[in-house]
Amino acid sequence: MLPVRMLSILILLFSLCDADSICTTEFKMDPPEIIAEYGGSPVIVNCTTTLDEHDGMYWTVGNEIFQLEDEELFISHSVPVSDWNVTAECKMKLNESYECSKDLKVILFKNPEVVHSVQLVNVMGEETQYRLQCDIINVAPVQFLSVSWYKNNENIRTMSFNDTTKTPVNESSILRVDISREENVAQFRCEAELDFGPHGPKLPAISQTHSISAHYVPELKTNSTADVYQLRGTNIALSCEAEGNPPPVYNWICDGENMLENTNSLNITRVNRNKTCTCTATNYLGNITKTIHLHVEPRGCPLTLTPSETVVKFGDPVSVSCSTSARYVEGMGWEAPFGGTGFERPPVVTWRVEKLEEWNPSPSCYATLVDGSQYTEKPVITVYKTPDIVSIYPLNQSHMTEEHVHIVPYNKNTRTQHWLGCDIINVAPVQHLTVRWYKNNKTIQTQSFNDTTTKMPVNESSILRIDISREEKAIEFRCEAELDFGPHGPKLPAIFQTHSISAHYAPELKTNSTADVYQLRGTNIALSCEAEGNPPPVYNWICDGENMLENTNSLNITRVNRNKTCTCTATNYLGNITKTIHLHVEPRGCPLTLTPSETVVKFGDPVSVSCSTSARYVEGMGWEAPFGGTGFERPPVVTWRVEKLEEWNPSPSCYATLVDGSQYTEKPVITVYKTPDIVSIYPLNQSHMTEEHVHIVPYNKNTRTQHWLGCDIINVAPVQHLTVRWYKNNKTIQTQSFNDTTTKMPVNESSILRIDISREEKAIEFRCEAELDFGPHGPKLPAIFQTHRVSAHYAPEINTSCTVDISPLEGTNITLSCEVEGNPPPVYNWTCDGENMLENTNSLNITRVNRNKTCTCTATNYLGNITKTIHLHVEPRGCPLTLAPSEIVVRFGDPVSINCSTPATDVVRMDWVAPAGHTGFESLTAATWMIEKFQDWASKPSCNITLNDDFQCSVSPVITVYKAPEMVSVTELDNAQTAGGTAYKNYPHTQHKLQCDIINVAPVQYLTVSWYKSNERIHTQFFNDTTTKTPVNESSILKINISREENVAEFRCEAELDFGPHGPKLYVSSQTHNVSAHCE
């Protein structure tokens, strides 16, 4: 049994454990923390419990304890935010021995002011270096402060602060930047922001922006030398456009005289002589000079018209350019009723009218010179219109009218006389009109018109007198009207009309005056009497003394049955002539001839046969046929024609009907053919002659391989003309003909050949040719054929050794070959280490071989089989390159060399690839990459190798390029200040802020900055920027407190480039800086 005292202790411990649980779960504060701006309104906080039984709740704020409140589930309190160190706590008494408490987390803040300053540090070539400082004034609490730098709105650096001081402090951030000439102007912004996390208030960032740009010496925007031309007595402004930063100051000198002008332009009034002026643009980085040679030109008329003369059709577009090469023309333009322009800048101004509808246009181009004088030029413009019509007509000699034509009849001593008129309607301008008369295309008269005043369209006429002789017969006269604008004007086509005129004469016969005509008895006939005269003659017919009462040039006689003589007389007012025709009546006979009488035609091709007669007594003729028949036509020829013959046995018939109604017929012999659709050759079984059963006797010393070949000729006609020939290696060995004369339509035929092939003959080519032969007079058609190769059969034989060893490189692809010869060609089977590879060709592809194996290839045909064994020995592989050294640290600008070597013997090519210093491809076992002066911050050379099997690989060395700092310096950022700004007697320490600047160092990832106080290391800073390889400027800031007792302390910073145990160790130390405590 436990003692009473120990039992009391245990009961107390159990109650305390239960109290801890109650304080955690039954005791809450709302809000749990305060984040408020310093000096604002007090914040009300509720303290709540769910425990009904307790001895009271109360607040303590700072050192003040507030009244206990009994039997309350929550109490509120107003917490002030005007004390930086305010604390608040809510307490609940559980009993007389124990109470719960909750601390209120209070964060008071003050948003800062931001001051941004810029300092130009240095200009180096194309880059300008600046030092930017961002001062954050009066901010609290500093541990929540973040300072971000932005370049053109892109974040480039962010800085945080770990000082837990609650009261306002001043902080600074420094950024060193280089601005290149290409960037021109860059905008930098410093933003200071208090960040209380995702659940805290979002305070606006306080920022300031500053634009900085690269500085550079002045540069001219144009050439450094210029020639300027100006009209004498005018004013001119010379220009000197230069660009620099800071903007340059200008100075002008002309012929040695300072013009006292400091802008980029120089005004000279009333120039009267040549001179040379120089303009110098200067800023603190340098200067540049432009030389201008001023040439003074005399005055003169400056205008040129293109074209100066032009010919244009009425209603067409027209344009004339007015140009000047003079430099002293202020402006120019065109004055005209239509197409005029405004006052425009030289050198060209154009007068343009889209539709010229003036007969006498007179535009004028003017130019105004810089001195106010003016010049004008006018082009010569000719507006034309071609005649609407040219008409030619006969005239009376005295009155010149169409109704009265004077004609003198032709005889031996006279000629026929005519007067012709030619009207040219609506033509302009008439002064350029030429009218030409032609007789049978030969010019006989030309007339011009000299009216220079009329510009608008007019009507003109021309008259021609002509004499026509009988020898000339009908003559064609032509009147041509042409507008001729000379050698430089447009060439317009002549407008013309023709008129034919002939002499009058007595009738004349076109044929002999006596004719004999033969006609079949009982047929009709028309006798002809062709006579020529002017005026045309009138006819009269008489047969055997009887007037036939016919006044035309032909006489129709029906059913002639006897011989007779007829005369025809042709008469006009100048005389007459007579023709005599003797009519002879003939007996009947068969008149038809076929051409050709026999023909051979391809099915579907066109065909024609002419049926002709020389008989005079055939009334009509024609063809009767299912296709191509004709109507009843006039002799002597009628043709049967079919465009696409699609009958196998056509039988057209030509008939002739004589004048007495009797009829005759003739039929041609037509052979219709079709070449075979296909000729196919194939093996046959000896007994059944089918493709499925082939009888073959295998080859040995005493036997030969026997074959039967069949040849099918498909769809050929007519079979009676078919010949099939068999060839062995182009030599005829068998010919077969077919004698079926009854079948005209296409049929299928076959021919069979028996052959024996020996092993010595190997493969023999047999050919079956099918040809349609129509004899010496028929068409020669090409033979249709097919070939077939036949060879002796034998068991598979291997071409190489039956056992082979192969040693491929590990991981490569390989193809195993099994070259076997046999007939029929063998079927292959591959197994590797007992596994069937499911490959039935003579090669086996194995990808990425990785172990030794044995593969067998078995080739089989129906005569036997043979096996080849291949032992596969796999050799290991890796990239066979070695670099010496593989890693190197080199100073920027120093020489460097790396050797690449290989033990491989199957090298095709080996080389280095690099921006500089590579060797090119070489068939070597070693190659060295070497640079005398290494000036590349991020060079990545690689050594490449190519082996005989096209395997390629490469290795690259690890090259670290460094530059030791140009300078390491220590500066004090602000004046020494005592803590809280009060006198030394109350605060024993003085606070200082030191900055260590490390200038132009690379690479920054290997940089370590160490601070020393009296040679004792007190702070070390590392830089983790692994992306920047080029030189940069870095800073390290040290905050220190100096006590009165120390009086003066010596500080120093040291920059070290540490490349590890195998690299160099580089140290650069700053000067020492003394710091002392301040006191009153």
The tens digit of pLDDT for each residue in 774-804 reads 888 888 888 888 888 887 788 888 877 788 8
In a domain, 554, yes or no: yes
The tens digit of pLDDT for each residue in 515-546 reads 888 877 767 888 888 888 888 899 999 999 88
Max mean pLDDT among 669-673, 736-740, 985-989 falls in 669-673
501-517 mean pLDDT: 84
Task: Specify whether 394 is located in the same domain as 456.
Answer: yes
> What CA–CA distance (Å, rounded) separates 353 from 317?
6
Q: Which residues lie across from 465 on neighbouring strands?
A: 419
- Tell me 981's DSSP state: G
Task: Specify whether 685 is located in the same domain as 734.
Answer: yes
562-579 mean pLDDT: 89
Task: Specify whether 779 is located in the same domain as 837.
Answer: no
Q: Indicate whether this model's pTM tops 0.75.
A: no
Task: Specify whether 1052 is located in the same domain as 976.
Answer: yes
Task: Specify whether 693 is located in the same domain as 788.
Answer: yes
Assign 19 a pLDDT band (cuts: 50, 70, 90).
very low
In a domain, 630, yes or no: yes
The pLDDT value recorded for residue 406 is 40
Mean of pLDDT over the chain:
84
Task: Specify whether 1040 is located in the same domain as 1006.
Answer: yes
The pLDDT value recorded for residue 25 is 65
Assign 704 a pLDDT band (cuts: 50, 70, 90).
low
- Segments forming the whole domain that contains residue 190: 119-214
In a domain, 566, yes or no: yes
The tens digit of pLDDT for each residue in 300-355 reads 678 889 998 999 999 999 999 999 888 778 899 999 988 888 888 989 999 999 99
Assess whether pLDDT exceeds 50 at residue 737: yes
Listed in sequence order, the residues at least 6 apart from 64 whose beta carbon sits closer than 8 Å to its beta carbon are none
Listed in sequence order, the residues at least 6 apart from 972 whose beta carbon sits closer than 8 Å to its beta carbon are 992, 993, 994, 995, 1073, 1075
Domain end point (choices 185, 214, 243)? 214
Assess whether pLDDT exceeds 80 at residue 568: yes
Percentage of the residues of the chain whose pLDDT score is greater than 90: 29
Residue 282's alpha-carbon distances to 226, 250, 259, 262, 288, in angstroms, are 20, 6, 16, 10, 7
In a domain, 635, yes or no: yes
Give the total number of structural domains in the chain.
11
Q: Determine phi and psi for 472, rounding to 5 degrees.
A: -75, -25
Task: Specify whether 395 is located in the same domain as 447.
Answer: yes
739-749 mean pLDDT: 89
Task: Specify whether 16 is located in the same domain as 39.
Answer: yes
Domain end point (choices 626, 647, 668)? 668
CB 113 within 8 A of CB 95: no
The tens digit of pLDDT for each residue in 201-236 reads 888 877 888 888 888 889 898 888 899 887 777 788
In a domain, 619, yes or no: yes
In a domain, 326, yes or no: yes
Helical residues (DSSP H) of 790-871, grouped into ranges? none
Task: Specify whether 849 is located in the same domain as 940.
Answer: no
The tens digit of pLDDT for each residue in 604-617 reads 999 999 999 887 77
> What CA–CA distance (Å, rounded) separates 651 from 670?
8
Task: Specify whether 291 is located in the same domain as 309.
Answer: no
The pLDDT value recorded for residue 21 is 58
In single-letter form, the type of residue at position 741 comes to: T
Q: Which of 716-720, 825-829, 911-915 has the lowest mean pLDDT?
A: 911-915
In a domain, 614, yes or no: yes
In a domain, 114, yes or no: no
Task: Specify whether 890 is located in the same domain as 954.
Answer: yes
The tens digit of pLDDT for each residue in 281-305 reads 998 888 999 999 998 877 667 888 9
The pLDDT value recorded for residue 185 is 85
The tens digit of pLDDT for each residue in 242-253 reads 988 889 999 999
103-127 mean pLDDT: 85
The pLDDT value recorded for residue 701 is 38
Assess whether pLDDT exceeds 70 at residue 686: no
The pLDDT value recorded for residue 644 is 92
Cα 27–Cα 28–Cα 30 angle in degrees, nearest 5? 160
The pLDDT value recorded for residue 1080 is 65
933-960 mean pLDDT: 86
> What CA–CA distance (Å, rounded) separates 789 from 793?
13
> What CA–CA distance (Å, rounded) separates 427 from 433?
8
Domain end point (choices 586, 604, 628)? 586
The pLDDT value recorded for residue 918 is 63
Assign 596 a pLDDT band (cuts: 50, 70, 90).
very high
53-68 mean pLDDT: 86
461-487 mean pLDDT: 85
Give buried/exposed letters for 619-635 (b at 16+ CB in 10 A, else e): bbbbbebeebebeeeeb
754-759 mean pLDDT: 81
The pLDDT value recorded for residue 812 is 80
Q: Going along 440-534, which residue ranges are E strands?
A: 442-448, 458-468, 475-483, 495-501, 505-509, 514-520, 525-528, 531-534
The tens digit of pLDDT for each residue in 140-165 reads 998 889 999 998 889 988 988 888 88
Listed in sequence order, the residues at least 6 apart from 878 whose beta carbon sits closer than 8 Å to its beta carbon are none
891-898 mean pLDDT: 90
Q: 388 in the Ramachandran plot: left (φ > 0), alpha (ψ -120 to 50) or beta?
A: alpha
Task: Specify whether 620 is located in the same domain as 538.
Answer: no
991: domain CATH number is: 2.60.40.10
